[in-house]
Structure 1
């Protein structure tokens, strides 16, 4: 029995294009439409009754595209969104791109093939053209956090400049840090750049000195290796602002191995408020950027646009400070 992939292969087009032509959605060149229709007839291809019903947006499947599962923030984000989706009777189709453009393209095609109702996108490698293609296929979209570009569709963005400012201001005001380092994620990561801007603003406003900007890869290993290499030769700093919790956990371990006491010798603050921060030694002060209730907001926005045919909305989230042991002043330690 012929499949939609057979038709696409013979026509030299994507399965998404075949789907649009068969369902009369979107635009294609007249010669492409004619070619696809001819192949469909020759192969006697007939979409299944299930596929037909799904193409009418009766699917209960929602695609969730994330950059990776190594960072605990994303695994917790998946769980939050899945709980919200399940409450509404939806299932999550998880797409782990591993921050790879080729994998992103594969999953974008797969979303159309699986007739998902909507797509939640968190990726630096998704372009506005990709969103337009999904929307043309009848798939409502909402971008969250990392996809911080201007587009015509639903979006939820975190004010990371404010988050970086909150973290740094707390480190200086409450922690008493004066000579501070910033541990960034990759240089091209926009949210990390925003956190750095907030950090610079706080340092500039207050009686503190920006010593160095270090780079990691948003994981524990890079946080450990980068901070260990620097602190082993530059013990003069008394505060580190980390772009995420994972790297902060690496910093905590590096300080332990170097005999540097937290928070007596150095104060450390993370970003994300992942669950492990409650149990690290010492417990990690951090910034919370994504509350559980936002999972409901994301699912509700997809439903609002898809089922009610409403105009997409933009949402901005204000991060919140979470104070624990890694930023306490020495006099507060019992």
Structure 2
């Protein structure tokens, strides 16, 4: 690999002169700088990224850390992040896994957006103590170098439960999410609160992990023990799609009549289900954009406040209303 030492030798100048020329310094004449740049180009010189970052202390790269890339969830979120950052002269790195977190202390990125349940609070707080800035989308942490942009999970789950209860259901299945997921735990907490307010309703929790396979498995169990019309609240749309697929393909149960299904996230695939899948909607693109805006404001030393993303209910179509339980 060509170094500035090689350029200096061929140009007949000092290493410091080459460094000044490559960095656009006015400490060298235009003619000398032009000659050095021409030689660098002829030698196919590529600047060492890590060394450049250590000197400038800025990469114009933002890292977003995700648990994984499965399902249809992340597309609009990442698009919202990318669009905002691109408009401000920043590029985006999408990261997953413990090794990728080295980008933070190595200063290969200027800041981080975190939606990764495997990224521990302790590690995030340690980085924050060292001066690194991040916006978290999946937890609540108090530190001057951390801010949070969260979904209003409790409001969304409450809307879903009230919708099912007002439709007359006295038997509701809740398909839970991963135990370590902040979003899943917040939604489940709201489900339990709604259940306590409606003692006439039987609320049954079945395990899930936010995958379609988990939705199918839960639907199979529900079909096997079916004794009367029931509602199924899947704590995300991926599981709702899995449950929908099982009920349509395997179970002798009619969606919208014997089974009333609702999800959370309003992913694109859920919008094509017939009958229309009820779900909790919010703008993933806005979520990503707002997180990016908050992070760049933090990097600029501007004050920020925690934010929540508004959610709303999308009702399902062709749902037969049941008599309201006494």
Give the TM interval when normalised to the shorter protein. Answer: 0.7 to 0.9
State the distance in 2 between where 1:107 and 1:326 align: 47
Which sections of structure 1, spanning at least 5 residues, go unmatched?
2-47, 98-102
User: CA offsets per residue over residues 12-66 of structure 1, 9 Å max, x none?
Assistant: xxxxxxxxxxxxxxxxxxxxxxxxxxxxxxxxxxxx6644543434322110101
State the distance in 1 between where 2:284 and 2:106 align: 32
Measure how far apart 1:207 and its partner are: 7.0
User: CA offsets per residue over residues 227-273 of structure 1, 9 Å max, x none?
Assistant: 21232223435101110000001111121120211101111110011
User: Contact 2:147 / 2:306 at 8 angstroms: preserved in 1?
Assistant: yes
Equivalent residues in 2 for 1:195-206, closer than 5 Å = 195-206=187-198
The equivalent of 1:20 in structure 2 is none
SS in 1 for 2:73: helix
Q: Do residues 178 (structure 1) and 170 (structure 2) align?
A: yes
* TM-score of the two chains, using structure 1 as the length reference: 0.74
Which of 247, 264, 267 pairs up with 2:260? Answer: 267
The equivalent of 1:38 in structure 2 is none
Equivalent residues in 2 for 1:1-334, closer than 5 Å = 50-55=49-54, 56-95=56-95, 97=96, 103-104=97-98, 106-113=99-106, 115-135=108-128, 139-144=132-137, 146-152=138-144, 153-173=146-166, 175-206=167-198, 208-256=200-248, 257-307=250-300, 309-325=301-317, 327=319, 329=321
State the distance in 2 between where 1:250 and 1:74 align: 18
User: Contact 1:108 / 1:134 at 8 angstroms: preserved in 2?
Assistant: no
- Greater alpha carbon shift after TM alignment, 255-264 vs 51-60: 51-60
State the distance in 2 between where 1:236 and 1:170 align: 18
User: CA offsets per residue over residues 147-205 of structure 1, 9 Å max, x none?
Assistant: 334444111122212211111101221x3322111110123433222212212233333
Judged with a 3 Å threshold, the aligned counterparts in structure 2 of structure 1 residues 324 and 230 are, in CA distance, closer, same or farther, namely closer
The equivalent of 1:18 in structure 2 is none
State the distance in 1 between where 2:53 and 2:157 align: 43
State the distance in 2 between where 1:267 and 1:86 align: 42
User: Contact 2:128 / 2:143 at 8 angstroms: preserved in 1?
Assistant: no
User: Contact 2:233 / 2:263 at 8 angstroms: preserved in 1?
Assistant: yes
State the distance in 2 between where 1:126 and 1:134 align: 12
SS in 1 for 2:192: helix
User: Contact 1:116 / 1:139 at 8 angstroms: preserved in 2?
Assistant: no
As a proportion of its length, which structure holds more helix? 1
Judged with a 3 Å threshold, the aligned counterparts in structure 2 of structure 1 residues 214 and 122 are, in CA distance, closer, same or farther, namely same
State the distance in 2 between where 1:221 and 1:188 align: 18
Which sections of structure 2, spanning at least 5 residues, go unmatched?
2-46
State the distance in 2 between where 1:316 and 1:201 align: 20
Judged with a 3 Å threshold, the aligned counterparts in structure 2 of structure 1 residues 151 and 326 are, in CA distance, closer, same or farther, namely farther
SS in 1 for 2:175: strand
Judged with a 3 Å threshold, the aligned counterparts in structure 2 of structure 1 residues 139 and 155 are, in CA distance, closer, same or farther, namely same
